[in-house]
Every structure is written in structure tokens, then in C-alpha cells.
Amino acid sequence: MFNEELLQGKSLRWGMVGGGRGSEVGYLHRGSALRDNAFTLVAGAFDIDPQRCISFGENLGIARDRLYSNYQEMFAEEAKRPDGIEVVSIATPNSTHFEIAKAALEANLHVICEKPLCFTVEQAQELIDLTEKKNRVFGVTYGYTGAQMLHQARKMVENGDLGEIRVINMQFAHGFHSSEVETSSAGAKWRVTPEIAGQTYVLADIGTHAFFLSEVIAPQLKVKELLCTRQSFIKSRAPLEDNAVVLLQYENGAIGNLWASAVNAGSMHQHKIRVIGSKASIEWWDEHPNQLKYEIQGEPARVLDRGMGYLYQDETINCDRAGGGHAEGLFDSWANLYHRFAVAIHAKNNNQEVKINYPSVYDGAEGVKFLAKCVESANSGSTWVNY
């Protein structure tokens, strides 16, 4: 079971940029980081509107003098305090991630950043270089991947339970933007505005989540080339796509396909991955994260359940917050990630080797590369491009 005792006897002093009142992802960060006392929220530049930041932050119980008009002010003022923040989470729209993350690293902070990490592979490399130079922990909130059954899936692939991997089928295809909702939703509006969202909409917004699931489950598979086709079914969204299909050719001969969509009418999430091997297949769906389908050719299909003794004894078991049979969900998955970020930060602060596995700046950079390659392929007439 999960151990919620304080790590190294202390809670990390934590600040947030973005994630203010009414934001989509802000409460997910706080609801999971604050769960295990591994982080204490002491400062924030929560909002693009300074007044809203103050009223929101005060209502969270944060001291008035630690609520800031912008991230520059927060990093500068917090650095002067003996009790200043040690780590910051960035939960702002995509276009701001690079500049804020870079400034945070330059202020010697550990960083936890939203996906997509940034816009270009060059920016991603700059963040990697700075993270290494400053010897900091840089986590990326691929929030679904704290789910224990994904780590069971990884062990099954690693141990050859599926045989040789042949096909990876990935999708994240919801229907929430089947009509032009951006005319009345600010959160949808920036997602279809290239200056703020970047060169893609659904691929960056949700496709990267599905792609990262495959990297968690089958890290040994390396993409050799890919082909992408993308569409703007709501015409006003062009050049950004609201639907995309990607084919991936892996170096070992396996093939992958990824479908990202915001126009899958009637669908909630349909965020799924199916990994097909020569002997068996596994399948995980984020709407039922406690279960993993395990289908061996020629045998009755099985469903593996979280919390059971027959699972591999890995992170799968160590971070169970409730026994088998009780449903865990998205907040538990995020809390597992935040706890791993904290373990890594303590190790780094104490000059110890970071042994725990967490989505890092390298994974964020891989996501950025994936997006760049998809755009390159789609914009050159959906041809195969070397990865």
C-alpha cells in the first residue's frame, strides 16, 4: 500500500504559475500535489489577471504578500526569502511553457510543467540542457501515467507475456468539440489559435497523452518513421486540426496507429491503448483505469484488476491508495506522479541518484519531436518521414 509519511521529514515549498480560478487543470495539480503533504502551496502567480490571482490565492489561504502579478515577480521575490519556493508547477496555455520553464530553471527551481512541453525541438533541447546544467528535476504532467495498471502493462511487455510486439493501437478521441464551441469557451478558443496552441490542436492537446502511454508500456520500441493526416472538420479551425490519424513504423518491424480527435461525436474520452503481441494482447482505457484486459490467443479473455496479488510487484502495488475492488481514478494517478516528482526532488537535493521513474523533460521533448514530425508529414502531403 501507499506510504503517505513525510519524505525526508519535510514538505516541499511549492508555487504555481497559472491554474487559476476556473481553469481546467489547476485543481488537478493542487488536488493531487497536496494530497500526501509532499508539497505545501505557499505562493502563486495563478492568473493572467493579477486581481483575480489575489482573490483566488487568498481564498486558498495563501499569504497576500506571496500572490504575484506575474511569474517574473514571483521568481525574483521568492528567491530573496529564506523560505522561498523550491519547486514550481506551470499550468498555463501552451505558448507560455517555454519562457516560464526556462525562467524557473534559471531561478534554480525544480519544475513541473504541463504538456506540450514547448513548441519546437530546439526549445525542448534548450530546456534539457538547462535542466542538466542546473541539476534540477523537471517533471511533465502526463497525468494518466500514474495509473498502476499501465506499469503492470509495462512489466508484461518487458517479461515477454505478449510475445513479440506487432501492433500498437492508440487513441484519444472525444466528441466535446464536435461543433464550434470555441465561440463561447475561452479554453477551447486558445486551443484552436496557433499563436497560443502551437502548430497542432488535437495532436498536442490529447494525441501526446496517447503516444506517451505507448512509451510507458513499451519503451523498447523506437519509432523509425511516421505518416500523419489531419483534418479541420470545423473549417474555421484551419490550419489547426480537430482530427488526426498517425501511422508509426517501429524499428523492430512493429506498426502503430494513433487517432486523436475532438469531433468523435457522442464519445467521452475513448483514450485507449491496445498492445498486440505474437501470443497475447493487452488493452487499457482511461475511463476504467483499474482494469487491464489480457487476452491470450486461444484462451478465454481475462481482466486483471488493480490491487491484486497476481500482478507484478512494482509501482503497481506500492502506490495503491485503496485495496483492490475500490475504484481509484485520475486524481490518484496524478497524486502518484506528484509523489514521484517529490521523491526525485528530495534525491536531487541530497545529491543521491534519482531511481524513481517519472515523466521527465526528456519525455516532454520526445512529445514535442513527435508533434513536429506529425506536422512535417501532414504538411508535405501525408508522406512518410524519418523519425
Question: Contact with ligand NAD (CB under 6 A): which of 10, 73, 187, 356?
Answer: 187
96 binds ligand NAD (CB under 6 A): yes
23 binds ligand NAD (CB under 6 A): yes
Residues 216-275 that bind ligand NAD (CB under 6 A): none
30 binds ligand NAD (CB under 6 A): no
Question: Contact with ligand NAD (CB under 6 A): which of 92, 270, 281, 333?
Answer: 92
Taking the complex as a whole, the smallest distance from the CB of residue 295 to ligand NAD amounts, in Å, to 28
57 binds ligand NAD (CB under 6 A): no
Q: Which positions from 106 to 135 touch ligand NAD by CB under 6 A, shown as an x/- string?
A: --------xx--------------------
Cβ nearer to ligand NAD, comparing 73 with 83: 73
Cell numbers found for residue 168: 500498437
Task: From 91-99, 210-218, 292-300, 311-319, give the range in contact with ligand NAD by CB under 6 A.
Answer: 91-99
Question: Contact with ligand NAD (CB under 6 A): which of 30, 35, 42, 47?
Answer: 47
193 binds ligand NAD (CB under 6 A): no
Cβ nearer to ligand NAD, comparing 188 with 248: 188
Query: What is the Cα–Cα distance from 378 to 274, expressed in whole angstroms?
Result: 24
Number of residues lying near ligand NAD (CB under 6 A) = 23
Find residue 173's DSSP bridge partners: 261
Cell numbers found for residue 284: 487499457
Peptide bond into 219 cis (omega under 30): no
Question: Contact with ligand NAD (CB under 6 A): which of 7, 12, 17, 337?
Answer: 17
Cβ nearer to ligand NAD, comparing 112 with 378: 112
Taking the complex as a whole, the smallest distance from the CB of residue 48 to ligand NAD amounts, in Å, to 4
User: Under a CB-based contact definition with an 8 Å cutoff, are residues 380 and 146 in contact?
Assistant: no
Task: From 21-29, 120-128, 220-228, 284-292, give the range in contact with ligand NAD by CB under 6 A.
Answer: 21-29
How are beta strands 223-231 and 385-386 bridged, if at all? Answer: antiparallel
Amino acid, res. 203? L
The number of angstroms, rounded, from the C-alpha of 161 to the middle of its chain's C-alpha atoms is 27
Residues of this chain that bind ligand NAD (CB under 6 A): 17-20, 23-25, 45, 47-48, 71, 91-94, 96, 114-115, 141, 143, 187, 190, 205
